Each structure stands twice: as structure tokens, then as C-alpha cells.
Amino acid sequence: MIPRPIARKIRPLWVAAVASAAWANRDDLLRWMRFLRLAFDQRKTRTIPDLATEFRVRAAVSANPVLRRDSALKDLTVSNGVVTLLTTDSDWPEPHNNQIRRLKRVKGISEVISRPE
């Protein structure tokens, strides 16, 4: 355990580090917050396996630094094993083919498509 006087001096550093990490990944955090809100709102209509698949895909996007920080990727949806990436650019997946292949390897995913928002 850290002594209280030292912990008091270190606390602003931890707060700054967490705030900096949150700011650097703000788009990803917003996507997760929208997902949690929609999952809560649709808890009666969506099945648990469908939500679990979408959770795994979102975790794969968050784990990939290229996809996580891409400003063209606005959100994603999963329906019956098909991932739809909502983007700002109509020809978006071309530079990201390796990352799209990684999303296809997620259990329960058969296809990954993108469409402009």
C-alpha cells in the first residue's frame, strides 16, 4: 500500500493519464457508449448470442489500433453474422483489407460490409 502523503501527490498524475487516454480514444469510447445504451434499450428484442457476437466484434475493433483510431469508421452493427461498418466514405475498406480480414475471423461472423452513413 502506498502511504497517504505520496498517494495524494501521485493522484493528479493518474487522473491526467486516464484523461489523456480517454481523449486519445474518444471515438472508440463513444462507440462503446452507444452500444451499451442500445443494448440496454433493445434487451427485450435482441438475443444474448447476437449481443455477444456484436461485443466480440467491437472488442476486435478496439484491439486493432488502425480501426480504433480511424475517423471514417463511425459505428458498426451486427445482424445474423453480417457486420455492417457505418463509415463516412463509400470506398472505405480498400486501405484496411487486413483489418477487415481480422474481423471476419471473429467467431460467428460470415461477412463484413461497409456502407456510408
Let me know if residue 20 belongs to a domain: no
Residue 53, judged by CB atoms within 10 A of its CB (0-12, 13-18, 19+), counts as buried
Q: Which domain holds residue 87?
A: 26-116
Q: What is the 3-state secondary structure (H, E, C) of the chain?
A: CCCHHHHHHHHHHHHHHHHHHHHHCHHHHHHHHHHHHHHHHCCCCCCHHHHHHHHHHHHHHHHCHHHHCCCCEEEEEEECCEEEEEECCCCCCHHHHHHHHHHHCCCCCCEEEEEEC
Let me know if residue 21 belongs to a domain: no
Let me know if residue 6 belongs to a domain: no
Let me know if residue 95 belongs to a domain: yes
Domain count, the chain: 1
pTM assigned to the model: 0.80
Let me know if residue 74 belongs to a domain: yes
Let me know if residue 98 belongs to a domain: yes
**pLDDT tens for the 117 residues of the chain, in order:** 788 988 888 999 999 999 999 999 898 999 999 999 999 998 899 888 888 999 999 999 999 888 888 888 888 889 888 998 888 877 776 666 777 888 888 998 998 888 887
CATH number at residue 64: 3.30.300
Let me know if residue 85 belongs to a domain: yes
Let me know if residue 38 belongs to a domain: yes
